[in-house]
Structure 1
Amino acid sequence: MTPLVVRAEPQAASLSQALLAAGHQPVTSPLLSFVEGAELERLPALLGGLSPRDYVIAVSVQAVHFADNALKQQGHGWPKANYIAVGDATGKAFARVDVPGAAIPEDPRSEGIISLPGLQQLTGRRVVILRGNGGRHLIAPTLMQRGALVDYCEVYRRCYYQDSSGTLVKNWQSQEVDSIIITSGGLLHHIVKLAADSARDWLLSRILIVPSIRVVQEARELGFTRVINADGASNQALIAALDERKWNDRQD
């Protein structure tokens, strides 16, 4: 198959190499990059006030990466607290910066985080949520209802590639892209935005590989009809979903 890879580097290159090894012909076109967030200077003060009873929640690998860099640059370390990672990759990112044992919910969505047993009774406890710009706003209101004192800290920003000329989509069409691998709702909405009206039907007819049921629902609302849930954003999960589709196509 000829899947389109749009996730940020270096993950895009890693996924593309794995796709090649699996017998696919990927088209690599990263649409997203990350830069430092607007609130990094606040981070040492926010984390410095935490006790071992409090919580730090990281919503992505980028959140851990940018937060750790900022702490090191300002001469600080990670405090003793309870850590929560959204997904296995984020948990591994915590371990790489010497924060082992982060709790990882089975459901890598906001709903999975707020269902963790330790977050049910939070009266008087503090929670710092490390995130990028935008995103969902379910975690903080729910935890505040349970008595927590919650602070968001924007430690990184998402920057989406813009293409007013429509050249990107034309290139994808000329390279006969037959499937698209999407790893977030933000990327899904951005790629639809990039497609001009003349290319919208082409885009919506591609096979779409997504990481979760939430993104499946968003894709269907946007008009995609051939959507496969990979149940994860790892290379292994994404390629397994694409290979399953390739095998099924051969059987039709």
Structure 2
Amino acid sequence: MFDATLNHIRALVTRPQPEGDRLAERIHRQGGKALVLPMLDIAALAETPVMRERVQQLDRYDKVIVISQRAARYGLELIDNYWPQRPIHQQWFAIGEATRHTLARLDVSATCSQQGSDSESLLALDDFQDITGQRVLLIKGKGGRDFLERTLHQQGVQIDTLEVYQRRCPDYQPDEVRQQLADHGINVILAGSGETVRNLCQFLPRTMPERCRLVIPGQRVVRLAEALGFRQIYKAAGADHAAMLSVLEKINDEASL
């Protein structure tokens, strides 16, 4: 069923596939238009001896934190190769509702913060207030932000990482991207992370950050976007589709659009 709640929206969706197409379809269903140009290429990392050791010692960790939906998928695929029955009496945590839902579909019950979809919100949970001496495994992509590792280490936690995928900037021709943005009349950009925003800026026309609306999750990404020249920034409650669409509905109602 189609409606017109996004009839003024012409969005650039920067999420990796297949999530990008799924978000674009939801925009279309609400009467909007969407161009999908992923600003992250994501691929699973080949298994290494260090990864194997982390997984084989899974039962030694008190807590497991999963950073993203991709980390959930690739991480559980690796874990299931060694653990037909996963360890019990172990707490699992997710960054954001979308990651928690992905883990649930993989038969892992995880906790996430209801106050935000970033590392700071997770660490504000009661479960992380007195964990000195505990062992924590962090399932994530290669590189990226190290806030969780640093903070937990400072709290006396033994923190190990399991990097299961890597992110790269896509290989687009800048002129092609700019032509597509113009052809589609893009007036809103949706970006799910700071890395996405940084990659995006390599392909945008110089004046576009000042005049185009940007929808992003989290105050940390807002600060980065401001530093990169964006002036019309809208903060979503999370990186999930529902949170992004909620902001698009508000933008659609603005008289100046």
Q: What TM-score, normalized by structure 1, do the two folds share?
A: 0.89
Where does residue 31 of structure 1 map in the other structure?
Answer: 39
8 Å contact from structure 1 (residues 64, 90) kept in 2? yes
Are the aligned partners of 2:40 and 2:169 in contact in 1 as well (CA < 8 Å)?
A: yes
Please state if 1:124 is matched with 2:133. yes
Shift of 1:209: 1.1
Which deviates further from its counterpart, 177-186 or 105-114? 105-114
Q: Deviations over 1:101-154 (max 9, x none)?
A: x12122221212222222232333211100002211111122122221111111
SS at match of 1:173: helix
Q: Which amino acid counterpart does residue 28 of structure 1 have in structure 2?
A: V
CA RMSD of aligned residues (A): 2.1
Structure 2 match to 1:15: 23
Residues 97 and 240 in structure 2, CA contact (< 8 A), matched pair in contact too: no
1:187 Cα deviation from its structure 2 partner: 0.6
Instruction: Show CA shifts across 1:42-67 (max 9, x none).
Output: 44532443457711100001111001
Match of 2:80 in 1: 72
Distance change >3 Å, CA 191–CA 11, structure 1 → 2: same
How many residues are paired up?
247
8 Å CA contact 2:116, 2:238 repeated in 1: no
Q: Distance in 1 between matches of 2:250 and 2:216?
A: 14
Distance 2:74 2:214 in 1: 30
Q: 1:49 aligned to 2:49? A: no
**What does residue 5 of structure 1 align with?**
13
Per the alignment, residue 171 of structure 1 pairs with: 180
For 1:1-252, what aligned pairs fall within 5 Å after superposition?
1-37=9-45, 41-51=49-59, 54-74=62-82, 76-80=84-88, 81-100=90-109, 102-105=110-113, 106-195=115-204, 199-249=205-255
Consecutive unaligned residues in structure 1, runs of 5 or more: none
- How far residue 99 of structure 1 moved from its aligned partner, in angstroms, is 1.3
Check whether the contact 1:86–1:109 (CA below 8 A) recurs between aligned residues: yes
CA distance in 2, matches of 1:41, 1:66: 16
Structure 2 vs 1, CA of residues 129 and 79 (structure 1 numbering), >3 Å: closer, same or farther?
A: same
- Render the CA deviation track for 1:176-235: whole Å, top value 9, x for unaligned: 11111111111101000223xxx2113431111112222222111111111111211222
Q: Percent identity?
A: 26
Are the equivalent residues in 1 in contact too, given 2:13–2:191 (CA < 8 A)?
yes
> Where does residue 3 of structure 2 map in the other structure?
none
Provide the C-alpha distance between the structure 2 equivalents of 1:46 and 1:124, rounded to a whole number of angstroms. Answer: 18
Q: Aligned equivalents of 1:165 and 1:115: distance in 2?
A: 41
Which residue identity lines up with residue 17 of structure 2 in the other structure?
E
Q: Distance in 1 between matches of 2:12 and 2:61?
A: 44
Distance 1:163 1:204 in 2: 22
Q: Quick one: distance in 1 between partners of 2:162 and 2:247?
A: 34
